[in-house]
Amino acid sequence: MSARRLYLDSAHGERRGVVTLDGRPERLLIQRDGDLPSQVLGARLVARVRSVNTAQNLAFLDLGEGPPGVLNLDPARERLAEGQSVEVEIRAEARHGKGASVRVAGVAEGAPRLLANAPTLAQRLQVYAGEGEIVTGGVARAVADAAQEEALQTVHAIAGGGSIAIEATRALTAVDVDLGPGLGAQAKRATRAANFAALATAARVLRLKGLGGLVAIDLVGRGHDAPALLAAARIAFAPDNPGTVLAPISRFGVLELTIPRRARPALDILTDETGRLSAMSFGLALVRAIERESTADRGGRFEVRAAEEVLDAARPALAQLREVIGDRIVVTADASLAREAFEVARL
């Protein structure tokens, strides 16, 4: 039976929750200071209808803060008018270029406002492993760092050799299975094993990255055992239910499926619009590095050098850290440093 473990890393400016599956990171949940409570999965609020697109059966709602919410209308049940107030729940968080998806929970009156906060990060973690113990402290920090590093990778090794590459586009997420060279007479058996291993790894890593919507998995080889592969896919993607739908394997060897979108993808949180790790992500990593050094040397003073955009992003978290360790940090903006090249040195 597969074993899941829960970890919660609490740092200045950010909290990271991790679910591991048989020792490998399966989910990465990130919560940052400054996140809008009205935009978080599970939050309940009063929203006001800004516009209704009857041609597409969509309504756009003012949530009070952040981008408008999007409601898929059922014409047989929901007849909304501009300016109307409704009670809604966030069912899928906003992501790059798209607002949060909501469902109507009832009628309401008044201005947009938060009615009930979303579940906490600890509560969300325990959805995935019951009442299992949540590990914190240094172990959780190391697990969260490893999960974040894997989530940012494109190529991931699969059991038995070979790899998968996962790349997200605006339309879909593509998963390419690569078997690797030099298999000779064992090629057919290795191909079959690689496809089964690829499904298990792809399911885990897609959950880790937080990717949903349409997914196309380009299987390796020809003459696939479609019934067996579909059965394996149903098992691998079962944790994404309810709502996961698989299509038959095409004659080109592509397995297509849709995965419900819920939480904001970890990649959206960690990266900027260009796909690079954001200044905020580097700023929070810098704060964690200072905290690590200051814990190792509790009386020491430190010089911090980083790009100005990284220091700007880190400023609120740095202020929190100073309240804990005192004024032991000298901060210098260095225009010659790239985002990733920050430095923490003892004075």
Write down the pTM of the prediction.
0.91
Please answer whether residues 104 and 74 qualify as being in contact, where contact means their C-beta atoms are separated by less than 8 angstroms: no
Provide the pLDDT for residue 181. Answer: 65
Please tell me which residue, 75 or 99, carries the higher pLDDT value. 99
Residues 24-56: tens digit of each pLDDT = 999 999 999 999 999 999 999 999 999 999 889
CATH number of the domain at 281, please.
3.40.1260.20
Show which of 207, 241, 266 is a domain's final residue: 266
Question: Does residue 339 surpass a pLDDT of 90?
Answer: yes
Q: Which domain holds residue 184?
A: 153-266
Count of structural domains within the chain: 4
Show which of 243, 266, 289 is a domain's final residue: 266
Question: Does residue 182 surpass a pLDDT of 70?
Answer: no
Q: Any idea which of 8-17, 53-62, 71-80, 168-177 has the lowest mean pLDDT?
A: 71-80
**Residues 105, 217 within the same domain:** no
**Residues 165, 247 within the same domain:** yes
**Residues 112, 123 within the same domain:** no
Please answer whether residues 197 and 161 qualify as being in contact, where contact means their C-beta atoms are separated by less than 8 angstroms: no
**Residues 53, 94 within the same domain:** yes
The mean per-residue pLDDT over the stretch 260-265 comes to 92
> What is residue 209's three-state secondary structure?
helix
**Residues 167, 252 within the same domain:** yes
- The structure tokens 């003073």 sit at 301
**Residues 104, 180 within the same domain:** no
Distance separating alpha carbons of residues 230 and 232, to the nearest angstrom? 5
Question: Does residue 184 surpass a pLDDT of 60?
Answer: no
